[in-house]
Amino acid sequence: MKARSTTAALSAAALLAGCTFAQRALVLGPVGPSVAQSQNIDSKGTLVVYSAFDVHEPDMSGFGDVQRHSDYKLFTEDGKLLQFVHNHPHHLDEEPAPVRLPAGRYRVVADSNGYGVVTVLVVIEASQTTTVHLEGGGSWPNEAAFTKANSVRLPDGQVVGYRAAEERIP
């Protein structure tokens, strides 16, 4: 009888611990373009998402060391699916696919390295590029320029992108 009570207590503790550590949905943003971009005249902007690398993508190129960014979904701000983005357009190219979009606010749902599926709010501005890094360890041309006030970060502190201009803390 004592063994059953012990087993029941351990099982209940394991179930409670499992609930405690369940992964929660991570929502980040809004991420926008940096303020230091040239001003070309164009009504659309560009979104570039460095999603986690796709571990399930077969190597069709013959080059085993090519890493491809995983595909992601792009939604309107109000949650309607706008596009499924195939995020590695060329077999030999490790760069993610740039997506041209009208200026506005969108939601990106993509795999991140270490955090599972993440939702990132993004702002697209005319003639600007909004870049999102979810692959972990992304490189930025001027990483020293990032502060807590002007950046969106993952919980571990890694920079995801520039905080959208209207959301920046003075």
Is residue 48 assigned to a domain? yes
Total domains in the chain come to 1
Is residue 8 assigned to a domain? no
Query: For residue 68, what pLDDT is reported?
Result: 84
What does the buried/exposed string (b/e) look like for 123-148 if buried means 16 or more CB atoms within 10 Å of the residue's CB?
bbbebbebbbbbbeebeeeeeeebee
Is residue 13 assigned to a domain? no
Is residue 162 assigned to a domain? yes
Mean pLDDT over the full length of the chain: 78
Residue 66: pLDDT over 70: no
Is residue 31 assigned to a domain? yes
Is residue 153 assigned to a domain? yes
Is residue 17 assigned to a domain? no
Query: For residue 26, what pLDDT is reported?
Result: 84
pLDDT digit string, tens, across residues 122-166: 999 999 999 999 987 777 777 778 888 888 999 988 889 999 987
Residues 6+ apart with CB under 8 A from 165: 32, 35, 123, 125
pLDDT digit string, tens, across residues 20-35: 444 567 888 788 887 6
Could you please report the per-residue DSSP string of 87-140? S--STT--SPPPEEEESEEEEEEEEETTTEEEEEEEEE-TT-EEEEE-SSS---
Is residue 10 assigned to a domain? no
| Residues of the chain above pLDDT 90, percent | 41
- Report the predicted TM-score, pTM, of the whole model to 2 decimal places: 0.74
Which residues form the domain of 129? Answer: 24-167
